[in-house]
Structure formats: structure tokens, C-alpha cells
Chains A and B, each alone.
Chain A
């Protein structure tokens, strides 16, 4: 491990002042960054602890929710406003990691976490364009069970591993960013980039900026929503496929719908084509099938991850069919 400096920011202004230099990294719960440092994947020279920044979970002026970036994952999952108004978010968080990790991990850190691609994590033995731009990708042609079937590129097929972000994407989450030039807001679905030629650039965040909060608009989906995570063991594994669905029905037809996938793409995957196809439709098997095909028509299937297309379809179909039935 290389020498590092550590400082604790007392405020957003403080953090902006400390961060932004070459080699500086923001430290939340450390549940991802510290692992990366141990493995030599990331070698920061400066750690800025941002856990003293706002961590409140409050009702916003528009009736939605505002969550401070330093809020712990477990606090969000347990919060009454989240459980009553955004149950999908609570379920997504509780499907992730272990209780110990959730107690440490922050919301801001969760949004910023890196892929768990085996080749990204193997500094000594594997090539990775995300880690060393231009070096090549060993995941393509290697073990890619956990890799993307949508949104990948010839340079990178790594997935974003978050569960929480999949729910945030489905709930129209907004990422509040502070920077030297002031604050700005980016929809969560536009916050993460697709890899293209530059898989090392993962978000639209500038190095001088920090994530300060996530807001959620009031959600119509509290009564009919679900998060289902499919994985290789019952707990403590990343998603092969996860699906977040929110639904409102008018008579027997879909009124509002929101669908997002995890585990299949380099970013939390909001499935706009599925939503467009199903809005106003009845949830018949053929309608669901057609909507799914619209979204997954250009999926790139590899030997290790080709099963995910069918798995995603079956999981989505089962969830829509169940949620679209008589209100619970």
C-alpha cells in the first residue's frame, strides 16, 4: 500500500476544497474503495472522508424524498418514509451485501461503486480496459457470467453491481451534485455512462465534484412495486439479473409503469422501451413478450451470460403478472 493522507470533511464546502486533486478519493463507508486499495486496483494518495456530510432522510418540498449522500444503506432501508412510500427501494437495499456492509455503506458510495468484474479486480494477472485504458478486455472470451448483455462495448462488458441504484433508476431518482461552479442535478439514469471506447470514465461526475444527495419524486408505485434479485446463492452474491418494477393500473390496463434492470448492463438499466410498449396495454403474456423483445432485441449474448436474456424475460413476466393482478 502506498502512503496516503486522510482528512475528514466537515461540510460540503470543506469536501470540495479537499477533493479534486489528482489521486484524491472520497471515502464513505469504505466497503468498496478499501477493497480496491487492498487489491491494488485503485491507488489513491489522498482520502477525504465524507461521512460527516449530510446524512438526513427527509420529506422534500414536493412531497418526495431527499436522502443525504452520507446516509447509511441500512438507515435508508429501515426509514419509515422509504418503507411506506418506496418499498421497492428498501427491498433492493436489503437484497444487497450483508447487514455489516449495509451498516457501513453510504448512499453516495453505493452510486459511485465500481464493477466486481473478476478481471478488473486482478491487477497482476488480467487485462482490463477500465483499469488500464487500451490494455484489452479479458472478460470477453473469459468468465462473463456476471457481465452485460446490454450497453456493453468491445472494450468493456462489466456491469454496475448496485441493487439500490436499480430501484433509484426505476423511481426517477435525481443525483444532486456540488462542484466549484455550484450545484447541479442529473437524473440517476443519466449519471452512469456506457463504456464505449472509454470504460474508465464511469459517470458524468467531474473529479472536482461530489454527490451530495439523492432525491426521489413522489412515487405512484407504493401499492404495486417489487424488486426481485436473482443470484447464484440465497444471499451475499451480486445479481445475475435483478428487476425493479412499479405499476399503476386503470381498470385492466397499465396506467403508469416503471421498469429497471440490474446485472445485465454497465449501468442501472431503465427499460424505457418496455414501459412505452406496455403503457395503456393489458398485461397479456404476448404484450409482455413483445415489450421485452423491444428492449432486448440488440442484446449481445456471450457463452457465459447468454442465459440472462431468458432469465430477465421470465423474471419480468412473473413480476408484471403478479403486480398487475388484483391490488394487494
Chain B
């Protein structure tokens, strides 16, 4: 992000700040907040039966005639050049159709890096792909084989002989810190933010904690491997992908391959787990290019190792958090700064200081992120990028301050949780973090905690309890479009390109549309995952539900107007204006006199219409700029630490969330739990073993990269305030990423309570808890 962007965002905020709240979207709360039927009800996922019976076709399962299969060669060196390339044996291997290297790959430009100003800029990397002999990172794609079967392609790949000359590479975080860059912005926020003189306030504070926290790199491990099937039909391109960005992918591919947008169709009806990793990477581009070269459909599925090699993960970080407090425990200074990796050809800034700006008041603040350049596969967004690791540092530090002052950690937080946004001063749209703490503490039995570390014991096990707060910003993305078709039988079809990654996108929007249009659930169909449908933004930043909901609101308003017009003078609702009616009971009714009702069926029948179709875009998400909008959480953990071995066993985990209206308790609980399980991995087990000598990831498999197993995951309790946000569609804020946020610190704080050991270096493995 540039300084210019800082200025633009800053002035938008200033102008929006002057505008009365009522003028903005969400100015008068969404009427469905008060008038919901399907929304907020427990509903099973509509795609559940399809997945259980195997009917759902994922991208690697789509039946395609004349299909060929691709496999990739990854560079085993980190920086250097390809000097000798011998593909003769591979060319001659059984079933091989084509071997592709930089010598014969068509010349292509590079993707525009992910940016906040252009929603179709989705590149995780802007390095050239198979365009020259240069190697930029270990694992980079250097060749591909296309063959009649996957096995033939895999075999031929092993026959390609490549000699490299290695060049010096930057692979050591500690060394590269010396030349770290300081970006002007982090996403759409200014990077270096100061309020008062935080260092001076800190040095004068009655109580000070000032420590460095470290988090390791992580890799994406969605169950479904990255896979793409690409085929050219005439001048048109059809891509079956597994992606969190259906419409933006089509736009980006069109630009890269010199096509019109309407010549490209990306289909991705189901995604087997996204978490930020299912974006645009090299494999899609290779598949599209080689499909044109061989004149046949090509399927390219990464191996699990391949996912580690060319799909980025979460950057490592080193974060300083310093908190000063006065004698009463009020924060006088909060400093959060640090280093994370972002190579110059990457796009993810890992915004670990953004969450820290939104929870606590302090007399002074300083926030600053620095980017370290390494020669690695570019890191990317991974569930709560920034917040997941940022809260580990800050919420550990708050716990350290509470311990140092002899104050209960919840009391310490209650005394400092802000009533307005601590940095911008903007009012919160709705914010009940204190209630989340109070409710959570009661359900969890926080009063059983013994403040003195190491006090509770059962046999060889020391028992501890900890908590942490989390905050994740609300987002509604611009550019969400939806088409609604009302059919003659009174049913409706909602269509947009949105992504179904297993969290219940279609289910929740069907619930929404049922209430919005006044129809029963069974009368709504939702079509998604197709770039030919009205474009909706990527699924990211926990924003998809609000973004699509905003578009449905706009489309439903338009539909109301169209249907009123169509109803004509003979209708019971004749003469009423759009603002005087609502959609209910399968038709239009007067708000003032609900007995004046005309059904969709009869309106369409009288007009001799089969259906009525409208398309609309959601309003600009100006509420984000007028109000401070954040999902928040209070996370509680009880665990045991073996005095003998240092092993940690988590016994209980509770998440108490304040995320506005919970649209579907069943799918929401799954999202929260899934995020919290990922948080357990972050806290205790997950670490990419990046060998700084070679620049190579050494544990590129699910056997060696430890995600939590079933036995590592205890009963997880989730609860929520369910207080609607008056500024958002349906009163809802995002829930996809708040679940992981805060878990790392809650676990670390419980470990401290159990043992008296403060671990500031994730993951908390048993060796860190053994006596020296």
C-alpha cells in the first residue's frame, strides 16, 4: 500500500465521519433484525447430503472427456539458475504428451498482486512462471509433464534431469532483519501509528511488561488438495478450480491470457477447505497454459508435498509488546511492533498489529510492522492473518501484566477494554466484549482458577486456567452482485458467483433469502460457485456472508419495485410505494394493513409472466468507515501439564463470542470450533520446519507437520451474545476467523497458570516446559 492510499483512506474516513449515521447504509437497522423467521434457526447444511453420499463433485472429480494429467517439477535449490535441462527421457516416457519448461512455455505476463484497490488483483506472487531459467525460491515450479494418466505424468517427472548453479540466498530471518522494510500501510490501515509518546509513557509507568514473542511459519493443510482442470473450447476457457475467489479468478485469467472476461468461466461449486490458501497460485496458470498447448483438457492436482512447496503459508514473526500501567492498572502505553516475512514479490502483510489497535484504551500507543525479505514461497493469508499471532503476543502480555500486578486477568481486561475505537475514536457499531467475558467466565467456572501459578495438581499433572481476548474486523466487500429470479410457481432462485467452502454459505443465504422474500426455505434455490453468475467478491476477511447479504438486500428492494409495478391497478397492493410494503407470505403486503396482500404467483400469472428477474449490487460498505466494527471473543482454556514430561493436554476450551446476530447456530458453532481447533494447533503443535541452511521446508507432509489429532482436541464449548449489530446486514458480523483469534494466548496463559513458565515462543512443545 502506498502513502497515497493512506491519504485517500484517511480522507474517506474523515468525510464519512461528518455524515450523519442515518445517511449511511445500515443507518436505519436492517428490518430483518427484528423480523426474522429462518434466520437464527438451527439448520443443517444444504450441501450435507450431497457430500455424505459422494454426490458433490469437487474439482478433481469432475468427469471430463479426453482428459490429460499434469505433474510438476519443483526446484530443490533456493536461488540460482537452471544450467542444463535434459527432458529426453521424460519426452520418451510412456504416455507423455508434452514436457513444458521455460524453453517452450508460452510467454506470459505476471499477475497483479493482491491489492485493496482492485478486487481482481489476486496474485499471491508476481514472479514469472516458467518464463526463464531463474530460480527464486525452493520449491518453485521449473517444469511440468502432461501425460495420458496421472501415474505416467508422475513417473516422467522423475526422469527430468536439471543441473542448477546455486546463488547466495536470503534464508535466515535473523540476518534479514537488518535490511527490513517499513511499509507505509498494512492493508488499508496506516502502518506506523503513534498516539502520544508511547516510549516515554512506558518508561514512566508504575508497572511495565516489555517482551518479545515469536511465532513460527505455518503451512496450509486443507483436506482437499489444490487441483484444477482447465480446458479450451474454441477461444473460450473453462476452468474447474477449488478457489476462494471464483469471479476474480476469471477476471485475472482473462487479463493474463489476453481474453475477454466473458470468454473465461471458472467453476468451483465446492471447496474442500480454504482458510486463505485457495487463491491463485502457479498451478492454475500452468494448467491453463499447457491445456492450450496440448489442445486437450488438463488436470493438475498438487501432491501434499506440492502444496507445501508452492502454496504459501503463514509468515514467522517476532513481535515486541510493551505495556505500561498506572497503579490502578489502567494502561498508560501499548507498544506493538515487530518483524514478519513478506518477500518483494509477495502480497500478504500479516497484519498482526491491527487487532491490537481495537481492544484496549491506553494513554499512548505505538504500532509498527517491518517486512523481512527472504527467498521463499510467498507467504499468504491464513485464517486470521495477523490477528491469530498478534493476539498471542498482546494477550500474553496482558496476562503478564495482570500477574505482575497481582490482578485477576479478566479484571485487568475489564478495566481497559475501550468504549470507542482506541485509536480512531470512532464509535463501535455494537461491542459487547465485556459481556462475552462475563458470560464466558460464568459458564467456564473462572472462579475456580487459583491465581498462584502451579497451585493445582492431580498426580503428576499441574492444572491451569487461562483466558484471552480476540478482535477481528468486520468487512463487507464492494462489488457483490446478486440475481434474484422469482418463478411462476412462487419459488425463487438466488444466483451469484460466491464460494462454498464448507462453512454453509448457501445454507445461510437461503435462510436469509427466505426471510427477505417472505418465502419458505424450500422455495429458495441458491446457485453459486460459477463465474458466469453475477460476480461476488472473494471469500476472505470473514466478509462473504455480509457482502452477499448486502447484495440480496439491494436485489430484494429492486424486486419489490418491479413486482409492485407488475401487480398493476387490480392488485390489493395497488397504489402502495416500495417503502410501504414488505415481502411476506409468498407475496407483497402492506406494512400498515397486512390484509392487503398479493402473491407473487398471482402477480406473475396476471401479467402472463413465467418469471421476474432482477440483478443488483450491494451498496458501498461505508458503514465500515463510519463505525468501528469488530467481532470479538473471550477464550477460556483449562489444561494439564505433566510434571514428568512437559506434555500439555487441553481439557476444556470455551469460546464466548460477540459477533452480532448468529445466523445459523449449527453452522456457526462448527465455524467457531474449527477455528479454535486451528488455534490449538497454533498454540501447541504446528510449525513449518524451514531449514535456513537450504531454504527448504523439511516437513512437507501431514505425518511430519503436526496438526492436532482427535486426541488433542477436548470438548469445545461455544456461546455468543447474539446481540444484533444495527449497522450491518442482518445484524451479523463475520465469524470465520474470530474462532482462532486469541486461542494461542489463552493456552499459553493457562500453561503459565499451571506451571509458572511463560512461553513466548510458539508452539508450546514439551521441551520448553521441562526444567533446564
Binding site for B on A (CB under 8 A): 1-2, 40, 116, 118-119, 122, 124-126, 138, 141-143, 230, 232-237, 240, 307, 310-311, 314-315, 317-318
- Name the CB-closest residue of B to A39: B305
Is there an interface contact between B693 and A142, defined as CB atoms closer than 8 Å?
yes
Contacts of B765 in A (CB 8 A): 232
Complex CA gap A238/B734 in Å reads: 38
Known contacts A1-B155, A143-B691; decide if A230 and B766 are in contact (CB<8 Å).
yes
Contacts of A235 in B (CB 8 A): 709-712
Is there an interface contact between B770 and A307, defined as CB atoms closer than 8 Å?
yes
Is there an interface contact between B699 and A118, defined as CB atoms closer than 8 Å?
yes
Is there an interface contact between B138 and A234, defined as CB atoms closer than 8 Å?
no
CB distance from B689 to the nearest CB of A (A): 5
Complex CA gap A237/B74 in Å reads: 27
A-B contact pairs, 24 of them (CB 8 A): A1-B151, A1-B154, A2-B155, A40-B158, A116-B703, A118-B704, A122-B696, A122-B698, A125-B138, A125-B694, A126-B698, A138-B691, A142-B693, A143-B689, A230-B647, A230-B766, A232-B765, A233-B684, A233-B706, A240-B766, A311-B766, A311-B767, A311-B770, A318-B460
Known contacts A118-B698, A125-B138, A318-B460; decide if A233 and B766 are in contact (CB<8 Å).
no
| Contacting residue for A118 out of B647, B689, B709, B710, CB 8 A | B689
Known contacts A116-B703, A235-B712, A314-B770; decide if A143 and B645 are in contact (CB<8 Å).
no
Contacts of A232 in B (CB 8 A): 685, 706, 765-766
Contacts of A125 in B (CB 8 A): 76, 138, 694, 696
Is there an interface contact between B645 and A311, defined as CB atoms closer than 8 Å?
yes
Encode contact with A along B709-723: 1 for CB under 8 Å, 0 otherwise.
Answer: 111100000000000
Q: How many A-B residue pairs have CB under 8 A?
A: 77
Contacts of A234 in B (CB 8 A): 649, 709, 711-712
CB distance from A201 to the nearest CB of B (A): 25
Contacts of B704 in A (CB 8 A): 116, 118
Is there an interface contact between B767 and A307, defined as CB atoms closer than 8 Å?
yes
- Name the CB-closest residue of B to A35: B703
Encode contact with A along B682-694: 1 for CB under 8 Å, 0 otherwise.
Answer: 0011000101011
Told that A1-B154, A143-B699, A310-B771 touch, could you supply 16 new A-B pairs with CB distance under 8 A?
A2-B155, A118-B689, A122-B696, A124-B74, A125-B138, A126-B694, A138-B693, A230-B766, A233-B709, A233-B712, A235-B709, A307-B770, A310-B770, A314-B644, A314-B770, A318-B644
Is there an interface contact between B138 and A314, defined as CB atoms closer than 8 Å?
no
B216 within 8 A of A: no
- Name the CB-closest residue of A to B690: A143
CB distance from A35 to the nearest CB of B (A): 8
CB distance from A292 to the nearest CB of B (A): 14
CB distance from A296 to the nearest CB of B (A): 15
Contacts of A314 in B (CB 8 A): 644-645, 770
B646 within 8 A of A: yes
What are the nearest 4 A-B pairs in CB distance? A234-B711, A307-B767, A235-B711, A124-B76
Contacts of A317 in B (CB 8 A): 644
Encode contact with A along B497-538: 1 for CB under 8 Å, 0 otherwise.
Answer: 000000000000000000000000000000000000000000
B708 within 8 A of A: yes
- Name the CB-closest residue of A to B152: A1
CB distance from A274 to the nearest CB of B (A): 17
Complex CA gap A317/B158 in Å reads: 49
Contacts of B684 in A (CB 8 A): 233
CB distance from A139 to the nearest CB of B (A): 10
Complex CA gap A311/B771 in Å reads: 9
